Structure 1
Amino acid sequence: MSIERFLNNSVTSWMAGEGEHADIVMSTRIRLARNLTGYRFPLSFTENEALQVDQAISAVLLDAEAELESTFSYIDIKELSALNRQVLVEKHLISPKLAHSEVAGSVLLSDDEAVSVMVNEEDHIRIQCIFPGMQLNEAWRQANHIDDVLEKELPYAFDEQFGYLTSCPTNTGTGLRASVMMHLPALTMTKQMDRIVTAITRLGMVVRGIYGEGSEALGNVYQVSNQTTLGKSEEDILTDLQSITEQIIQKEREARAALLHTRPNVLEDRLYRSLGVLTYARLLSTEEAGRCLSDVRLGIDLGLIKGVDVSILNECMVFMQPGFLQKYAGTSLQPEERDVFRAKLFRERLQVDNNLDNEGEEPHDV
């Protein structure tokens, strides 16, 4: 499949707005870190070693498409422009680490974009499966199957005492990072998130922003994942994350009910004002777009706002980002130009601008 399909299409499978607890859990991700014996880790190996590792891993995966019941596209990261790399990061298809790689690296993407296998990121192999809603066990089964297929043909770096060996000690052991991406506007509005983050950290979990480590919780979207992988089985990690996620879901539902009960008019006014901004604004910053998207999504989930598809809002979370905006515009954009273009895309995507655009332009096909 052409790389342009992955770059131009803002829709990906995890944005479907489906799955258990989909009103709060936007997606579930399983990531497995693996390395091959006989090669140094990516942090210190040579370009020649990187090429050999890349060729070995991609050959096995592409040959196993029938067994995996999925078709993969091979994408050489070094052949991509900086903008195209950023777009793949914004779609959660590659990590920022791989996007900035200076040695031979690649990503193998399934046609539905639910699976991405990153080669020569921080480790030789990063298997990633993303499902919509709360589907930890389903995502784990798929990632584990891919891992089994690769391990049959490739010599993994494994130690009987320490488990799978990785570049970062916090990944050693199972090499498993499980995470759920959650929309938690009510807990944020009621100022409970700091307390919840502290409690989660004490339980061996970590809370990050929408794009993982070092990112902010744009649009009240948080990622909750396990902190370490050594000393616990995969089943224990998944069970613990499932339990903690269910508790957070319950807290968020309680906070939403409290907002509806104590300040219904104030809440409804805020949510509809945000819908008005998204449908009529001529300038939209990333931060304002994220906040308004969060409000509208909450309004839909509470049954207050009708006629807007949640999957469109998930899609908007991607194409409001700087890289995708410039890719879609076909040119580089200065910050204010991005704010203008972002506002125009939102109006078109929410289908309220067909007759209101003063310039009379045809709406884009997002």
Structure 2
Amino acid sequence: MESLLNNKNLISSSVILFRNVKGINFPITMKAEEGKLFSEKIIEKILEIKDDMKVFRLWNDEIKFEKLKETRVLRNKTLKNKEMVAYLESKKNNFKIILNEEEHIRLQCTQSGYNIEEIYNCVKEFDIDLERKIDYLFDETMGYLTSNPNHIGTGLILEVMVHLPMLTLNDKISKLFSHKDKSMFELEGKYGEKGKAYGSIYIIRNTATTGISEKELIEELNELILYVLNEEKKEREKAFEKYKNEISDKIHRAYGVLKEAIILESIETLELLSYVRFGAEEGILNISIDEIEKAVLFSRNPFVKEALQGENNLEKLNLKRADIIRDILKQKVY
């Protein structure tokens, strides 16, 4: 576990619990007004337990909705229920709750790096407190019941975001799980479409929530993450053995472009930041990982649009994106 706790390739870890309320229609069959009333009732119960949570009623907050969609906090299912979805967040432990998305309740905690057991304990503690106030939809044989069959049972999803530039460059991502149980875990790009992963950033998550205990699932994930990181390490070692100067040049060129560019497109920025992160991970560049992650986040379109007070013009977005990146990398406050 020590190698996981300190590994710079690991961007963040999340624990998610899906829950539904007994006697209430699933969100997919709710009407907007019914959903809003339900959200308000659950918000009241949540705030009785954790009163430091900030509440966003997304049917009235387009900017917050777009930000959450861009950062993938909200999923595609949310788009269908936008008029009844509420979002709550607490700065402490980066704890989030989404109401009336795909299920009635999604509890989620995300932290930098990897400490999945600690995060799980945080979410589970709140889950137990909430279950004392709300009658969850539960079956003694099947476990927690959900509208999505993939969530039935524990309702537990573990997600790890990881940076895998050399496996991506050498086109070995598709073969990564060839010796693992593909039915239990999946891998997808954080940013991209049609199988692409811009910035070489991936999310690994479990697809099984039945037939395995929560403890066993965490143990399986630990084993898988170690395997993935070891494969990336082997690719890096082989690459540095043959192309050390070329790799170092590519990293420094990417850093130079980001620090001086006047115009930056969204995908281009992700790819350049991937090289810079690679350089930071390997000690080639003296730049903090936190700085790079900040650059990735604030370079995304919803954040750039906010900085431009809602401006949608692509040329202006690309100009402002470059301004933002330059400021962050030159260590100005942003």
Normalising by structure 1, what TM-score? 0.85
Distance across 2 between alignment mates of 1:173 and 1:63: 27
What's the counterpart of residue 317 of structure 2?
A: 338
Amino acid at match of 1:23: K
RMSD of aligned Cα (Å): 2.1
Q: 1:74 aligns with which of 40, 55, 59?
A: 55
CA distance in 1, matches of 2:122, 2:195: 27
> Residues 97 and 327 from structure 1, CA distance in 2 versus in 1: closer, same or farther, beyond 3 angstroms?
farther
Match of 1:104 in 2: 84
Q: Does residue 37 in structure 1 map to residue 17 in structure 2?
A: no
State whether residues 22 and 133 of structure 1, in contact with CA within 8 Å, keep that contact through their aligned partners in structure 2. Answer: yes
1:105-120 equivalences under 5 Å are 105-112=85-92, 114-120=94-100
- TM superposition shift of 1:140: 0.5
Q: CA deviation at 1:324?
A: 0.9
What percent identity do the matched residue pairs reach?
Answer: 26
Question: Once the 2 structures are TM-superposed, how far is the Cα of residue 103 of structure 1 from its aligned partner?
Answer: 3.3
Counterpart check, 1:47 vs 2:35: no
How far off its partner does 1:97 sit?
3.4
Q: Give the C-alpha shift of residue 121 in structure 1.
A: 0.5
1:283 positional shift = 1.6
1:203 is displaced (CA, Å) by 5.0
Change (3 A) 1:100 1:203: closer
Task: Report whether the alignment pairs 1:324 with 2:303.
Answer: yes
Shift of 1:43: 0.5
Residue of structure 2 equivalent to 1:4: none
The answer on whether the counterparts of 1:282 and 1:343 sit within 8 Å (CA) in structure 2 is yes
Query: Residue 351 of structure 1 is aligned with which of 317, 326, 330?
Result: 330
Task: Provide the TM-score with structure 2 as the length reference.
Answer: 0.93
The match for 1:360 is none
Give the 3-state SS of the residue equivalent to 1:193 in structure 2.
coil
Within 5 Å, give how 1:98-177 maps onto structure 2.
Answer: 98=78, 101-112=81-92, 114-177=94-157
1:310 correspondence with 2:289: yes
Alpha-carbon separation, structure 2, partners of 1:54 and 1:38: 15
How far apart are 1:198 and its partner, in Å? 4.5
Q: 1:103 to 1:198 in 2, by over 3 A?
A: farther
Instruction: Give the deviation of 1:260 after TM superposition.
Output: 1.3
Provide the rounded CA distance (Å) in 2 between the counterparts of 1:347 and 1:217. 24
Q: What is the aligned residue count?
A: 331
Query: What CA deviation, in whole Å up to 9, does each residue of 1:47-66 have, x standing for no partner?
Result: 34313421232111101127
What SS is found at the alignment partner of 1:207? Answer: strand
Q: Hey, what's the Cα distance between the residues in 2 that align with 1:49 and 1:148?
A: 26
Q: CA deviation at 1:213?
A: 9.5
CA contact 1:94–1:116 (8 Å) conserved in 2: no
Q: Is the 8 A contact 1:84 1:327 kept in 2?
A: no
2:273 aligned with 1:288, yes or no? no
SS of aligned partner of 2:162: strand
Q: Could you say which residue in structure 2 is the equivalent of 1:186?
A: 166
CA distance in 2, matches of 1:330, 1:215: 32
Q: In the aligned structure 2, how far is the partner of 1:215 from the partner of 1:207?
A: 10
- Structure 1: tracts of 5 or more residues without a match: 1-18, 353-362
Deviation at 1:104, TM superposition (A): 1.9
Q: C-alpha offsets along residues 54-95 of structure 1, whole Å, 9 cap, x if unaligned?
A: 1232111101127xxxx21111111102x3311123345444
Q: Equivalent residue of 1:117, what SS?
A: strand
CA contact (8 A) 1:27 1:133 kept: yes
Aligned equivalent of 1:85, options 21, 44, 65:
65
